[in-house]
Amino acid sequence: MKINLANIKKAKKLLDKGDCVAVPTETVYGLAGNAYSDSACNKIFRLKKRPKYNPLIVHYYNIENLKKDCELNDNFFKLYKEFCPGPITFVLNLKRNSNISKLVTNNKKTLAVRFPKHPLTRYLLKKLYYPLAAPSANLSSKVSAVCSTDIKEDFGKKIKYILEGGKTQIGIESTIIDLRQKPKILRLGGLEISKIKKILKKKIQMNINSNKIKSPGQLRLHYSPGIPIRLNAKNVKDTEAFLLLKKKKKMKKNFFYLSVDGNLKKAAKNLYSTLRKIKKNNYKSIAVAKVPNLGLGKTINDRLIRASKF
Ligand code: TXA
Ligand code: MG
pLDDT in tens, 249-274: 999 999 999 999 999 999 999 999 99
Residue of minimum CA distance from atom 29 in ligand 1: 111
Sequence ranges of the chain with CATH classification 3.90.870.10: 5-206
DSSP label at residue 43? H
The CA 248 to ligand 2 mean position distance, Å, reads 31
**Does the CB atom of residue 217 touch ligand 1 within 6 A?**
yes
Across the chain, how many H-helices and E-strands are there? Answer: 10, 15
- Centroid of ligand 2 to alpha carbon of 205 (angstroms): 22
- Range 5-26 average pLDDT: 98
Q: Using CA atoms, how far apart are residues 100 and 145, in angstroms rounded to an integer?
A: 25
**52 C-alpha to center of ligand 2: Å?**
14
Residues 6+ apart with CB under 8 A from 250: none
Q: Note the ligand closest to the C-alpha atom of 44.
A: 1
**CB of 112 closer than 6 angstroms to any ligand 1 atom:** yes
Cα 152 from Cα 309, distance rounded (Å): 26
What pLDDT digit, counting tens, does each position of 157-194 carry? Answer: 999 999 999 999 999 999 999 999 999 999 999 999 99
β-strand partners of 136: 30
Query: Quick check: 223 pLDDT over 90?
Result: no
> Which residues have CB atoms below 5 A from the ion given as ligand 2?
136
**pLDDT tens per residue across span 58-74:** 999 999 999 999 999 99
23 lines ligand 1 (CB under 6 A): no
- Ligand 1 neighbourhood includes 86 CB (under 6 angstroms): no
- Which of 67, 56, 186 lies closest to 108, judged by CA? 56
Please tell me the CATH code under which domain 5-206 is placed.
Answer: 3.90.870.10
Which letter does DSSP use for residue 4 in this model?
Answer: -
Q: Which residues pair with 221 in a beta bridge?
A: none
**C-alpha 59 – ligand 1 centre gap (Å):** 10
The model carries a pTM of 0.96
Backbone angles phi, psi at 46, to 5 degrees: -65, -50
Among protein residues, the one with the nearest Cα to ligand 1's atom 31 is: 215
Q: Report the nearest-CA residue for atom 12 of ligand 1.
A: 135
| pLDDT at residue 309 in the model | 82
- Ligand 1 pocket member 186 (CB < 6 A): yes
219 lines ligand 1 (CB under 6 A): no
Average pLDDT value over all residues in the chain: 94
Q: At what angle do helices 296-307 and 264-280 cross, to 10 degrees?
A: 20
How close is the Cα of 26 to the center of ligand 1, in Å? 15
